[in-house]
Structure 1
């Protein structure tokens, strides 16, 4: 047990998110009486890996002792930035192989900010090394990876927080408490979710030699080795199914996870999806540019739609969810929410919370998502409270798995042309041998896929 204390009683009682807004809004986020400095390592020192790490440094008495990346240039730059941000001023030890970092460092916490195809192996190895883990979403690229991650977290009795920080987003916490839980919507019988961002990186860059500062084979790891056509960082890798699950796996998971949290939903009864590359056929990208999916529950369909072309259905909410209730409608996004009552009644609007005055260093950070920073700080505090209290965090690995796997299963439905019914107890798709064969992707040697029965 790590002996540090968080000065907010509700976190120790299971991190009731609905209280987070009032608890932290006036007084900020305080950690008191730290009696042990937590040893932290980061795997994947790119944009979001560093962003998560810097949010943790802002709210906790940590010492970042190790960083790992296969890009030496990015790794060295991250080392300098961390030495400037952490109180000790020390530069962490730098590694090119995460396995050596885990073996050397005796870490309390490991943050994982690598591309999706690495999340499962690195999470499970970090858990085996005795660390608690904060892993970015989506947690996995196939369903069996996710099952193995949940099994490993339980076996090694460690906390795994998933970077689905909408659950820690102040204005969305407010919406859940004061709109949904307060009954203003009444019975919700339809949900729509969408992403209309033009985010599908596409093009035809030539194959070129791998630069000497990048270990491309290690970057690729268990995924298929594509011909090298430039640095895969900053979204190029996301345009290939080899490394992820497209916009469905990247963006739907956030909104679907938020909806499940707000409405207390578990696994969908049935999932169906159609789509493909309908418009943007000119480049190498192999992820869908147009896709619809339905996640079915009793008396409720949660419908997803993305297009990486054209205009959004609602320009105010281009990446969002909409809850349709008998008494009104709730629009929600990372930037705001709007409640519109049925008939007479008062409309309610809330905007995202920024903390630029309290954390002025945010304004100097390259590529920071200022709207997401307060949510990530709350998410980190919830993670720490779960470690301290021996409880599950708000974005526990099992919840992250349900949301991730549901999006992966939607892609399998699109691929097979059939609806998918997944039985989480048996870890199989009901009555579909072909689809069951797609629950686990083949790994490239020498990497071995984790088995949930033998982690």
Structure 2
């Protein structure tokens, strides 16, 4: 497919969205007030995106690091005249003034509690993926969103990437793959696991006890301020919970899949030398559905099996195989290979004519990411205006997050698990059910979906 046809398809879809009646009215046109909880790297990315794409005004910032607060305050000061209030405790922030939108961009172990508090206070929420560290946290967040009528958009933004929107319409919904029987999702990029981080004194600007929150207390290491916390199971779910959730989520969205009937996972740490990471350096998860099987696989060592890989995004993708053909798609390109007669169709976002052979990586992927962010923000604002569910609604993100969390439960127990979202239990497995909620550190109370 050439670029003109690709862009034309998306432009038509965008025009329909832009003229939807739900985008009009005083509430829809009013720039929102925005509060940020978690002002680190991706908190700043989310804040910049929502301000840029909604015309919103930042009214409050919250972080347990005064250094990060100061840096984000300077960032905001360059973009608006109003000076936001700053807080160390999100409860104080919500007590002082409830913004229209609260962004939660903390480390994963700190997603659930502030997000639920913001919903309870009456805000709509934009929260990072995965939505929490365990299944019960996710159930509680969904329950809170429904109870308080909060519109919650999760940053599983692959659903808003132009290329995924395109292949869903032109290949999957058009039936060009035929009956689909297998979905493979994968990640073959490092994952930030190398090195052993030295235990150092906690810096004066960081409240480390508050940063740790409900998670187990570990000695402070400098890498925790530079996203190094992701290598530790205490704060998240490893690579499957960080990046696998993106691919599993977009595959589910492409195929309109809900909860899998069974999940089984194998893997572990094959090469422990030279790292203090305690999350798997390789993992294979199988998600069973009535009519197809989905898999996730990652490996942080060795070479990627992706042929002719030229960009890091080539190592993260989805392959969907049906009775009529196979579709390979990443954030930058797709290839459709028919099973029988017919030409292979391929397209690359960074190619001036769509031909992957002519892809130009010199300009980076920022313009593409900006388009996806704009799509995601527009969808969120439209959902807020109509009080409807956005494309990355909290319940959809909960299913995707839980798939990763349940894969880790299976890995720990060494057996398949079958989750029942109605009873919120693992069918016939009391030991696995007990692992659906992590034990919080003394002094912290785990959210309960029955009492949010």
Both structures adopt the same fold (TM-score exceeding 0.5): yes
1:293-345: CA deviations, max 9, x gaps? 10001131101110011111114431111000111111111222111122222
Q: 1:382 aligns with which of 379, 390, 397?
A: 379
Equivalent position SS for 2:220: coil
Q: 1:213 aligns with which of 205, 209, 226?
A: 205
Q: 1:350 aligns with which of 342, 347, 351?
A: 347
By how many angstroms is 1:177 displaced?
A: 0.4
By how many angstroms is 1:233 displaced?
A: 2.6
Q: 1:116 aligns with which of 108, 111, 129?
A: 108
By how many angstroms is 1:370 displaced?
A: 4.5
1:191-245: CA deviations, max 9, x gaps? 1111010113232222211110111111111111110121513320000000000
- 2:225 matched to 1:228? no
- 2:61 matched to 1:71? no
d(CA) in 1 for partners of 2:247 and 2:69?
Answer: 32
d(CA) in 2 for partners of 1:280 and 1:337?
Answer: 35
Q: 2:417 aligns with which of 408, 415, 420?
A: 420
1:169-197: CA deviations, max 9, x gaps? 01110010011111111111011111010
d(CA) in 2 for partners of 1:437 and 1:202?
Answer: 32
By how many angstroms is 1:372 displaced?
A: 2.3
1:129-173: CA deviations, max 9, x gaps? 110001010001000000000000000011011111111101110
Unaligned runs of 5+ in 2: 1-7, 352-363
d(CA) in 2 for partners of 1:312 and 1:29?
Answer: 44
CA contact (8 A) 2:197 2:223 kept: no
1:26-52: CA deviations, max 9, x gaps? 999998776533111011111111111
By how many angstroms is 1:453 displaced?
A: 0.7
Q: 1:306 aligns with which of 298, 316, 324?
A: 298
Structure 2 CA distance for partners of 1:20 and 1:111, relative to 1, 3 Å: farther
1:261-287: CA deviations, max 9, x gaps? 111111001000000000243321100
d(CA) in 2 for partners of 1:198 and 1:225?
Answer: 26
- 2:97 matched to 1:97? no
Higher mean displacement: 411-420 or 202-211: 202-211
CA contact (8 A) 1:57 1:85 kept: no
Match of 1:151 in 2: 143
Equivalent position SS for 2:198: coil
Unaligned runs of 5+ in 1: 1-17, 355-366
Match of 2:5 in 1: none
Q: 1:241 aligns with which of 213, 223, 233?
A: 233
- 2:447 matched to 1:450? yes
Between the two proteins, the alignment pairs up a number of residues equal to 424
For normalisation by structure 2, the TM-score amounts to 0.89
d(CA) in 2 for partners of 1:116 and 1:29?
Answer: 37
Residues 41-440 of structure 1 aligned to structure 2 (within 5 Å):
41-86=35-80, 89-315=81-307, 316=309, 317-352=314-349, 369-440=366-437
CA contact (8 A) 1:353 1:374 kept: no
d(CA) in 2 for partners of 1:28 and 1:170?
Answer: 16
1:102-147: CA deviations, max 9, x gaps? 1112211001111100111011000011100010100010000000
Structure 2 CA distance for partners of 1:154 and 1:32, relative to 1, 3 Å: closer
Equivalent position SS for 2:275: coil
d(CA) in 1 for partners of 2:365 and 2:85?
Answer: 24
1:32-81: CA deviations, max 9, x gaps? 77653311101111111111111111121311001111111111111111
d(CA) in 1 for partners of 2:15 and 2:335?
Answer: 20
Equivalent position SS for 1:233: helix
Equivalent position SS for 1:284: coil
Equivalent position SS for 1:273: strand
Equivalent position SS for 1:191: strand
Larger helix fraction of residues: 2
1:357-397: CA deviations, max 9, x gaps? xxxxxxxxxx9955422112211111111110111101111
d(CA) in 2 for partners of 1:229 and 1:29?
Answer: 51
d(CA) in 1 for partners of 2:402 and 2:77?
Answer: 37
d(CA) in 2 for partners of 1:25 and 1:212?
Answer: 51
d(CA) in 2 for partners of 1:44 and 1:29?
Answer: 35
